[in-house]
Amino acid sequence: MKLNLAQWGNKLHSGEKTYPIVQQRKRWFLVSGVLVALSLLMLFTKGLNMGIDFTGGTEFRVTDTAITEPEEARAVVAELAPDETARVTILGDNDVRIQIGVLDEDTAQQTAREITTQLAEAYDVPEAQVSFTQIGPTWGASVGKAAVKSLVVFLVLVSIVMALYFRAWRMSAAALVALAHDLIITVGVYAATGIEVSPASVIGFLTILGYSLYDTVVVFDKIRENTANLTSQHRYTYDELANLGLNQTLVRSINTSVVALLPVSAILFIGTFLLGAGTLIDISLALFVGMAVGTYSSIFVATPVEVALRDNEERISAHTAKVLELRAAGESDVAISEDGEVRVGAVDKGRHQGTAAQPKRKKRKG
């Protein structure tokens, strides 16, 4: 019988149905390791296509033109600035953006005016419809430093807040591992696709880190609730209770991700590719990839890493050994599913719980 989403969520929350995500953490670590390795390979071999806001350069924009052929702009740049390579982007249906490097300081103004005139002729528009902006290398370098500084400050604040909130450095460390995982893979996608990294992209990076962190905190909060009285019982290990918390928040994570990805998908696929709003791709790609990877990491990276760190803790390892010892001796009555997994908190239907479990009736006065 097929379960609807509500029934599935209820069974996950009660523990009647669980997925051994924590127990199979080596598998997820392998998947993440491959993705991170490929992302780093792309980053170091192809590199990032940094926008002129970071590197400095000159940008020309032709508006309201009926001609949108990139070759027209490349021919003009090749003639008047042969040492520069033109990066041409079609914005919408009738706008063209041309970016080149930093022009020679002595002839920059003259060259820019000549390119403006030639672009107006090539695209058959008045010169007033061709604008240009120059960004010096010093300004670009300062923007890049500000972006790196903002990222470092964000990570430091996250570490402090997580450590204070959970009072456990292992959860803070696991959250940072998940954040690094999300950032590296997202940046790797930019390197692989060659899409320009702009200040809007940096905003997107910071946004996805906040999103990933929020999802991770919700999962960790449930795990902390489940393991609050860990050593007072000897039926379940820390791994099993953490896996229960992960399963209990699984539906919420999926629902949140779907709701968040729908509008971002509309911006990326409809706005960028169908409507031609090219200026949206830099931030929408970061949001789309980051949110998708962030959902994956909050489920398959953050909690498994936290559990792996916790298993090395003396108190946790001693408790786990005790639980497994009692099970081996047949002194534990935990429920086991058909596939051999421990069902934590599951309702064992059809099993008589004894007279002690029955409600007490009030004695009637005669």
Segments making up each domain of the chain, as ranges: 18-48+139-314, 57-135
Judge contact between 354 and 345, C-beta under 8 A.
no
SS percent in the chain: helix, strand, coil, step 5: 65, 10, 30
**For residue 27, is pLDDT > 80?**
yes
Which pLDDT value is given to residue 177? 92
279, two tokens = 């200026």
The one-letter code for the residue type at 322 is: K
Which pLDDT value is given to residue 286? 86
Give, in degrees to the nearest 5, the angle at Cα 13 between 8 and 19. Answer: 70
Which pLDDT value is given to residue 326? 84
Judge contact between 22 and 307, C-beta under 8 A.
yes
Which CATH number applies to 18-48+139-314: 1.20.1640.10, 3.40.640.10, 3.40.50.300, 1.10.3080.10? 1.20.1640.10
Query: Do 57-135 and 18-48+139-314 have the same topology in CATH?
Result: no
pLDDT band at 276 (very low <50, low <70, confident <90, very high): low
Judge contact between 21 and 28, C-beta under 8 A.
yes
DSSP letter string over 37-64?
HHHHHHHHHT---B-HHHH-EEEEEE-S
Judge contact between 47 and 191, C-beta under 8 A.
yes
Judge contact between 290 and 205, C-beta under 8 A.
yes
pLDDT band at 353 (very low <50, low <70, confident <90, very high): very low
Judge contact between 283 and 97, C-beta under 8 A.
no
Judge contact between 80 and 112, C-beta under 8 A.
no
Mean pLDDT for the stretch of residues 224-237? 88
Which pLDDT value is given to residue 34? 96
pLDDT band at 277 (very low <50, low <70, confident <90, very high): low
pTM beyond cutoff 0.95: no
Give, in degrees to the nearest 5, the angle at Cα 140 between 134 and 143. Answer: 130
Mean pLDDT for the stretch of residues 202-222? 85
Mean pLDDT for the stretch of residues 247-259? 85
Which pLDDT value is given to residue 357? 42
Q: At what angle do helices 238-248 and 250-265 cross, to 10 degrees?
A: 40
Judge contact between 272 and 90, C-beta under 8 A.
no
What share of the chain in percent tops pLDDT 70? 85
**For residue 142, is pLDDT > 80?**
no
Of 24-33, 89-98, 349-358, least confident by mean pLDDT is 349-358
**For residue 278, is pLDDT > 70?**
no
Mean pLDDT for the stretch of residues 112-116? 87
* Closest C-alpha to 296, from 354, 250, 238, 227: 250
The one-letter code for the residue type at 336 is: I
Residue 324 CB contacts under 8 Å (≥ 6 apart), including other chains: 237
Task: Residue 213: count other Cβ atoms within 10 Å of its Cβ.
Answer: 22
- Model confidence pLDDT, tens digit, residues 309-330: 999 889 999 988 988 888 888 7
Please tell me the distance from the alpha carbon of residue 311 to that of residue 324, in angstroms, as a whole number.
14
Please tell me the distance from the alpha carbon of residue 51 to that of residue 147, in angstroms, as a whole number.
13
pLDDT band at 31 (very low <50, low <70, confident <90, very high): very high
Structural fold of domain 57-135: Beta Polymerase; domain 2 (3.30.460)
